[in-house]
Amino acid sequence: MIESGERLGRRTFLKIGTAALIGAGYEYITGPFKQRLDKDVANLTDHPSGSAREAVGQRNPQDLAAQSIFEEVVFRAAPATYVSLRDGKNPIKDVAIGDGKITMSRREALVGLGSAVLYAGFNNLTKINVGDRIDADTNTIPASPTVQGFGLWYLQRKFGFVSNLAANMFHKFKVFQA
C-alpha cells in the first residue's frame, strides 16, 4: 500500500485515523480490566502489582510522549519488522498499517509474548532518589503491563503503528495527568 515515492491516499489516511481511534478506544475499554487484574494479583500475592514507573510518577507531557514513542519503536515496531521480514512481507507497510486480519501466526504470537514480557520488565525500571540511579523494582509484579504489552502488540500487527502509539499515549496521559 505504501510504496517508495507513493502519495498517502485517502483510504490509507482513513485507515491511520481509524487506527488511532481504535488505539484510544482499546485503552479506554481495557483500563478497568487491567486495574482489576492488578488488584487481584496484589491480593493473591501480597505484593503490589502494576507498573512500578507509574507508582513513581512522571508528570512532564514531553517526557511521556517521548517515552511512548520509544516504547512503541523498541517493543513493537522493531520486533514487528523482524516478523515481517521473516514472513517475506513488506515491513514498512506491515508496521505502518498492519495486516488487518483478526488472527495471528504462531511466530507473531510468540514474538509478541516475548516483547510483552520485556515491555513489562522495562516498566519496572524506576529512578531511585539516591544519585538518580536507575534501578529495577523487584517487589512489584508487572501483571497489567504484560497484558497491556501484548494488547499493544496485537494492535500494532493488525492496525499499524499509530493504533498502539495512540493507546500507549492515551494510557500515559490518563494515568499521569489524573
How many folded domains does the chain comprise? 1
Examine residue 1 and state whether it is found in any structural domain, yes or no. no
156 or 27, greater pLDDT: 156
Examine residue 4 and state whether it is found in any structural domain, yes or no. no
Examine residue 3 and state whether it is found in any structural domain, yes or no. no
Per the structure, the complete domain to which residue 84 belongs is given by: 10-176
Kindly tell me if the per-residue pLDDT of 5 is higher than 50.
Answer: no
Enter the pTM of the model: 0.81
25-53 pLDDT, tens per residue? 888 888 888 889 999 999 999 888 888 76
Examine residue 2 and state whether it is found in any structural domain, yes or no. no
Examine residue 79 and state whether it is found in any structural domain, yes or no. yes
What percent of the chain shows pLDDT beyond 70?
85
Examine residue 92 and state whether it is found in any structural domain, yes or no. yes
pLDDT given at position 1: 46
Q: What is the mean pLDDT of residues 114-133?
A: 78
- How does DSSP assign the chain, residue by residue? ---TT----HHHHHHHHHHHHHHHHHHHHHHHHHHHHHHHHHHHHSS-BS-HHHHH----HHHHHHHHHHHHIIIIIHHHHHHHHHTT--HHHHHHH----S---HHHHHHHHHHHHHHHHHTTEEEETTTTEEEE-SSSB-HHHHHHHHHHHHHHHHH-HHHHHHHHHHHHHHHHT-
Q: What is the mean pLDDT of residues 97-105?
A: 89
pLDDT band at 56 (very low <50, low <70, confident <90, very high): low
